[in-house]
Amino acid sequence: MTKHANDCPSPVFRAVSHLHVDDVEVSVAFYKLLGFDDKNWYRKDDGTAMWAAVGYSDNQHRRAEIFFAKASEPVIPEQQAVLLYLFTSDVKLLRDHLLMKGLHNGGKYCGQAGPNNGRRVVFEVQHPAYMTEGELRVADPDGYCLLIGQYDG
């Protein structure tokens, strides 16, 4: 058994975001626009998608996963306080792709929800001090905030 600095005999080695969403199929389709593939589904007998997993991996050992579950109550993003921080190698290219795929152009982000009631919106690339190569703000179909930083590591 490997000893760890904090003396934990069996440390957690994987974390996956799990979002409650209004429509699992709509969320999976949206996250496919970001390069995720659908990996696994759970459906009720009537075919209603209740849960799904999406993921991305490449030969450079980059990996990402998100789980989606059908929410039992209305999704109100301001009450959920969900923010996912993701990475891409070219935020401008990704922004152009999302606009071509029908996301709403939110312009410069100034604290507003943006068009389309803050759903399926992509804002202009910004360059904060902690992500000087660029950071993209996107609102998904449930209004959850995605910040996508440009990183080649």
What confidence score (pLDDT) does residue 71 get? Answer: 95
pLDDT given for residue 5 in this prediction:
64
d(CA 114, CA 70): 25
The answer to whether residue 85 sits within a structural domain is yes
pLDDT value of residue 152: 75
CA distance 9 to 45: 41
Asked if the structure places residue 41 within a domain, the reply is: yes
Kindly report the CATH number assigned to the domain that includes residue 94: 3.10.180.10
Domain, as residue range, for 116:
17-150
Q: What pLDDT does residue 28 have?
A: 98
List, in sequence order, every residue forming a beta bridge with 54; answer none if it has no partner: 38, 66
Does the structure show a pLDDT above 80 at 4?
A: no
* Position 59 pLDDT exceeds 90: no
Measured CA to CA, the distance from residue 144 to residue 83 in angstroms comes to: 6
In a domain, 124, yes or no: yes
Residue 10 has pLDDT above 90, yes or no: no
Spatial separation of the C-alpha atoms in residues 75 and 125, rounded to whole Å = 27
Look at residue 1 and tell me if it is in a domain.
no
26 phi and psi, to 5 degrees? -65, -40
Please report which confidence band the pLDDT of residue 2 belongs to, taking 50, 70 and 90 as the band edges: low
Residue 79, domain member (yes or no): yes
How many structural domains comprise the chain? Answer: 1
Q: What angle do CA 83, 20, 66 make, to 5 degrees?
A: 65
- First-to-last C-alpha distance (Å) of the chain: 30
Q: What does the alpha-carbon distance between residue 19 and residue 56 come to, in Å, rounded to a whole number?
A: 17
Pairing of strands 83-88, 145-150: parallel
Say if residue 55's pLDDT is above 70: yes
Cα–Cα separations (whole angstroms), residue 48 to 22, 54, 147: 12, 17, 30
Average pLDDT of the segment spanning 39-49: 97
Residue 109 placed within a domain: yes
Q: What is the pLDDT of residues 77-131, one digit of tens each?
A: 888 788 999 999 999 999 999 999 999 999 999 998 899 999 999 999 999 999 9
Residue 43 in any domain: the answer is: yes
Residue at 35 is within a domain:
yes
